[in-house]
Each structure stands twice: as C-alpha cells, then as structure tokens.
Amino acid sequence: MGARERPSLWRFSLFAVTWQLSFWLGWGLVLAAAFQMRSLTTDLATSSVSAVGPQLLMVAALVIFGELRPVVASDSWAQDGVPISTAFVFATLYLWGFAPAVVLQAVAVLLSEIVQRKDIWKLVFNVGQYVMSVSTAWAVMALAGLNPIVAHPTTALRPLDVAWMGLSWLVYHLVNLAMVAGLAGSTGKTWWESFSEDFWYYTFSTLSVLAVSPFIVAMVLMNAWFVPLLLLPLIAVYKTAAISRHRERESLHDPLTRLPNRVLLQQRVSTTLEEARRDGTGLALFLLDLDRFKEVNDTLGHPVGDALLEIVARRLVAAVRPEDTVARLGGDEFAVLLPDIEHPNDAIEVAGRIKMALTEPFHLEGVLLDVDVSIGIALCPQHGDEAEVLMRRADVAMYVAKGEQTGIEVYDVARDPNSPARLGTVTALREALDRGQLELHYQPKVSLDDGTVVGVEALVRWQHPVRGLVPPDEFVPLAERTGLVHRLTAFVLREALDQVTDWWAHGIQVPVAVNVSMRDLQETDLAGLVAAELDAHHLPPTALVLEVTESVLAQDPGRAVATLRELADLGVSSSLDDFGTGYSSLLLLERLPVAEIKIDRSFVRRLDEADGDPAMVRSIVGFAHGLGLSVVAEGVETSSAWKQLREMGCDVAQGYRVARPMPATAATQWLVERVVRGPAERTGLRVVGGGDASRP
C-alpha cells in the first residue's frame, strides 16, 4: 500500500507533515539500522553470528522475492497486490531484531519501487512509510521484553509471545494506513476518507500475511533448511491468485471482444463519478448502437457478425484516449466512458471521431460492408451524477439519434419520455383529452395555378388552462411514445369530420387532411376506424385525406404499405408528408398507394435564400409528376417562393403566404369568402388576421 498521486510537496500542510515525517524519521531509522548492522561485521568471526548468517540470507532472499512478486488476486481490489515479504520481515524482526528487519524492509521496497519506475517522491515516501511501520511494531515487541539482536537471536517462542505479535501486527497496520491517509490532500480526500477506504479488505489481507510469520520463526528455530519448503504453499497461493484473477477478468469482460462488460463499466462509471465529484471535473458516457447489424447477421451469418464486432471494438479503442473505457454491453451495443471532460463540445468531438472511424468500410468474407452507428451522450454533472441515471439518459439519447437518423445526440430532458416533466405532461395530456382542452386549427391548401382552395389540413392544438397554447411539437411526439397517440388520432379524426360535415352542409365541399402516426399505421385497425367515422358522419371517402410522414417508411414499410392499400380500397386518399428528408426508397415510393407528396418546408425555404438552389425542388416535382402524383409545397411564405413553385409546375401551396392555421370559426369565414363567394386574389391571397404575409 503506498502513495497514489503526485501533488505539490508543500501544497497541503497534512501532506507536507506526513511526507517529511516519512523522509526524516523513516530514513533516519534506516541509517540507524544500517549503522547497527555495520557494527555486526566486526563480530562475523564469532560462532553465533556466523551460524545466523545462512539463515538470515535465506530469509532475506525470500523478503526480496516476496516484495518483487506480490500476490495479486484481483484487478479491482489492491491492484498492486499484497506483498508476502511482510511475513518474512516480521520473522526477521522476531528472530534477529530491529536492525536486519528494517534494512531488509528498506532494501526490498527500494528495489520494488525502482523496478516499477515509481516517481522519486513516491519511492522516498514508501521506503520511509514501511520502515516507520515496522519500527513501531518493533517498539511493541521491545516493550514486551522481546528485543533480540543478530548476536543474540531468539531461541524459542512462548505462548504469550504470540499475543504480543498480534498486537505488533495491528500497530504496524494502523500506522501504515495512517501514513498513507496523511497524503489524502494529494487525491482530494479527507484524512478519514482515505484511512477508512477499503479498511476491512486491507486489514484482512495484511493480517493474513502477518499471521504466517510465527510459522516461519518456528521453522527457522527447528531447522532453517525447512524454510525453502514454504515455496511450495507460496506457489499454490500464486496459482490460486492467478486463477482468481482470470475468473474475475472473465466475469468482467466480454468473451468475444475482450472489452469490459456492463458490470465492469458500471464499476468504472461509479469510480469515475466519485473522482469527478472530488476533483470538480466532468465526464461523458456514450451508448452506441450499430445500425443495420441485424441485416449482417441474417444475411451473412453470425460468424461474420462476430468478426465485424471484433473489428468495431478495435476501431473504437483506437478512436479514444488510453484512459477512456470502451465496453461492450451485449449484441451490437457498446459504451464509452470519458473522464475529465471539460465541455460538452469535447464529448461531441470524440463522438464525431468515433462515428468517422466506423464509416470506413469493413472487408469481411469477400464482402464490403458499410456500418453506421447511433450515439447517445450523457454528461456529468449536467444530466446526473449517478451511474444508473447516466446510463439511462445516454440510452434515451441513443434512441433519439437512431429514431431521427441524426447519428449523434446529447441527452435532452425535453425529449425524454421518462423524465418527471414528461411524465407530468403525459398525465396532463390524458386529462386534456378527457376534459376537452384540445382543439383543431385549420390551414388551407390552394392551387398554385389559379388560387382555388383544394383542401385544408387539421392541426391539433392544446389549450392548457395554465400554460396557454401548448405547441404540438411538445406533446404529439410524447403521445406517440406513450400510446396516447391512438386516442389523439381518434379525437382529431372525429373533430375534423364533425367540422367537414358542417362545411359540406353549407356548400363548402373541400377535403380535410388529418395526420396519422407510425403507431396508427402499425398497431391499430386504422382503415376500420376511418370507415366507421366516415359512415357515422355520412361523408364520402373523398372528404378525407390522411397524411403520413415519410419517416414511417423507415420503420416497417411492409405494414405501412398494407395499411395504405386498405385505405385506398376504401377510396380515402393518402399524402406522403415531409418528403425529401431522406427516408424513402424510390422503388418503395413507386409502390406506395398515395395520391400526393408534400415537399418538406426545409427545401421550400431555400428558394428564398440568396444562394438557394431550386434544382432539388424542381427534381422532386418532375419525379412525382412522372409517377402521376400531385405535389404540395409546405411552408410557402413569400411571393418569390410562390412564383418559383408555380413556374416549376408544383400543384398546390400551403403556408403563411396563403393563410396561417386558424380556429374553426375563422377558417369557416375564410372558406366562405373564397369557396362560396368565389376565389379572390388567385395568386396573391392575403393572410387572415392581419400582419405581413412574408413573415412567419
């Protein structure tokens, strides 16, 4: 047990006192013992000293061996191991006294520190520390009247001597711990924290070694040549320790990649968190999931999948610092622990480096594989200071990155379906559905050719009694994650058809578009629900258009296509929303039973930018028309965009240039003016409610 970190020698008063005590008193005792041993050389001719010589040399050799080869039974506890040399040092103390025991202890520790290339300040301290501890044990024995010297060694052990030996072991151990705890300032701990840390482990292991010393004494007194026989049980101890370490490593490491597993990762996260709290530093925890890994296993087989995981593991280790931890949690899921992270951008930079390392193609079994990765990042202290909390929040961020195809995401409580705030919102949303706090606003869609109103889109709003109008971006994704989306969709469909029934009764026969989610397509009988509602409202299928986002096609395209076909068989048209965001396969789009696509507003917005390139929008329009589909442009806000879209042949416009989303009463008035009384301002419709039509 020795010093751990390198501090300034004068920075901490407790550290300075402890280190100087070790230096002056410890090394002073070494010099005193060496001087006493030197004086014995004049007595080498005496029979008593010459008889002791071979015995002392034999024990001395075992002291050096035991110090250089400590017993390491665990990589988690006392990683430097337990030096068995202490048993032979104490045997020397009981047999031949203070001087040879201190000199042997000093020489053994000095050699060990040099072999391990310890810093000079550690070497000086550790030698002094152990010498002082042995000297206090000698003082206990001396008080008991047991004070042998080389010229007059111990010749027999009495039963009472064992009690004094036990007391000397305890004093030695407590002084040793106290000296190391005196360096607490170098690690940021208090003296007591350092002294009590793993106290019982060190106590048990130290006393277990010291308990061997009386047996060594007995063997020397009986016949010194029996002492080498101790090597046999020592070899057994080393072998047992090696087996223990091997089993521990097996239990803490992934057998395929040899990376730390989940158990070891959690241990290291907990340890790093303690250090971060103590030092006031930060850390980052990544969770990584390989995209499309299941396809590799299913197509090429598990051996190829395993080989891929091994290469991924090597690339991950190469992409991070030596002090970082890369772990495999199972399957295609990995984790990275980054200590000493100063700023969130540092973590994002490392994540980018990891992602770049995995974009290089993999050559396996003659096949060139491309594998992408989704990375979720949780930071301490920003997102929590407990291991389990950070693991959970990194997991949330990873699923956001995977679901939104962004690759890298930092945890955001606003996107966490399990956060207390979100859980409160779920409860409030359920109450809002029960109490009628949700309402629909309607945004018209008009023909770019002549300004004719061709439909409206129903958009849900939450009129919260305290917070006011809650934007749909805040509660609709939450409803999708918690299962409330089915109730929400049923509410919107019913309310929208109620309003359309009223409009159609007054001659405003425009269809209404209702958004449906991925879970609506996959988990419910959406076609049955739509058919029942249309029948209940006595409306034809042409009164309704269902809008599905392009992202649903990435999750389960087979199920999505089947549901859309069922709706098409009913005569209900479907529209592919947010087109162009990167999910659709062109072959899949060709098979989709949709009547129109809606160009994502991000493309339309670029038409108003100085360096905007209309080529993408023009290509989408041409492609859709080639498939016989109508094209709707979302987010049309300016006359310039309107003009360009019309020249490209785009069919329909929707956005603030036409009208903002309006409550039912205002939407009815707007439609009466343009549908019943005739379309006006065909290519320059004003925004209802005042304001600049060019502003969002």
Cα separation, 504 vs 496, in Å, equals 12
**Mean pLDDT computed over 458-478:** 81
**Helix, strand, coil: what percent of the chain each, to 5?**
60, 15, 25
φ/ψ of residue 380, rounded to 5? -110, 130
pTM: 0.49
Q: Does the pLDDT at position 41 exceed 60?
A: no
- Give the pairing of strands 367-369 and 372-380: unpaired
Work out the mean pLDDT of the chain and round it to a whole number. Answer: 81
What 3-state class would DSSP assign to 254?
coil
- Structure confidence at residue 375 (pLDDT): 94
Structure token digits, residue 103 = 């000199």
Q: Which residue has the higher pLDDT, 82 or 254?
A: 254
Give 367-404 pLDDT, tens digit per residue: 777 778 899 999 998 888 888 889 989 988 998 888 77
**Does residue 375 contact residue 290 with C-beta atoms inside 8 Å?**
no
Cα separation, 474 vs 425, in Å, equals 9
* CATH fold label, 262-415: Alpha-Beta Plaits (3.30.70)
Cα separation, 300 vs 316, in Å, equals 23
- Structure confidence at residue 131 (pLDDT): 92
Half-sphere exposure of 120 toward its Cβ, with a 13 Å CA cutoff? 1
Q: Which residue has the higher pLDDT, 656 or 679?
A: 656
User: In terms of DSSP H, where are the helices of 509-556?
Assistant: 518-523, 526-536, 552-555
Q: Does the pLDDT at position 46 exceed 80?
A: no
Nearest C-alpha neighbor of 285 from the set 220, 329, 222, 231: 329
What Cα–Cα distance (Å) separates residue 97 from each residue in 52, 53, 153, 258? 12, 14, 8, 49
Angle between helices 47-68 and 98-115 (to 10 degrees): 30
pLDDT band for position 447 (cuts 50, 70, 90): very high
Q: Does the pLDDT at position 690 exceed 60?
A: no
Among 38-42, 320-324, 333-337, 487-491, the range scoring the smallest mean pLDDT is 38-42
Q: Which residue has the higher pLDDT, 498 or 427?
A: 498
User: In terms of DSSP H, where are the helices of 116-198?
Assistant: 120-143, 159-181, 191-196
Give 214-249 pLDDT, tens digit per residue: 888 888 888 777 777 777 777 766 676 666 666 766
**Mean pLDDT computed over 353-367:** 83
**Mean pLDDT computed over 112-128:** 86
**Rounded to a whole number, what is the distance in angstroms from the first to the last CA of the chain?**
68
Yes or no: domain 420-676 corresponds to CATH 3.20.20.450 = yes
Cα separation, 352 vs 339, in Å, equals 17
The domain limits of the chain are 32-252, 262-415, 420-676
DSSP assignment of 602-642, as one string? HHHHGGGSTT--THHHHHHHHHHHHTT-EEEE----SHHHH
Q: Does the pLDDT at position 190 exceed 90?
A: no
Q: Does the pLDDT at position 79 exceed 70?
A: no
Q: Does the pLDDT at position 679 exceed 80?
A: no
Give 316-356 pLDDT, tens digit per residue: 999 999 899 999 988 889 999 999 887 888 898 899 999 98
Q: Does the pLDDT at position 682 exceed 50?
A: no
Query: 3-class secondary structure for 68-96?
Result: HCCECCCCCCCCCCECCHHHHHHHHHHHH
Structure token digits, residue 584 = 């659709």
Q: Does the pLDDT at position 6 exceed 50?
A: no
Structure token digits, residue 683 = 């290519």
φ/ψ of residue 336, rounded to 5? -135, 130
Cα separation, 186 vs 695, in Å, equals 60
Per mean pLDDT, which of 47-61, 212-226, 529-543, 569-583 is the most reliable?
529-543
Q: Does the pLDDT at position 524 exceed 80?
A: no
- Structure confidence at residue 219 (pLDDT): 84
DSSP assignment of 284-300, as one string? EEEEEEEETHHHHHHHH
Cα separation, 74 vs 71, in Å, equals 9
pLDDT band for position 540 (cuts 50, 70, 90): very high
State how far Cα 124 lies from the chain centre. Answer: 40
- Structure confidence at residue 47 (pLDDT): 47
- Structure confidence at residue 52 (pLDDT): 63
Residue with tokens 């992602």: 355
Structure token digits, residue 379 = 């930071």
Among 22-31, 290-299, 387-396, the range scoring the smallest mean pLDDT is 290-299
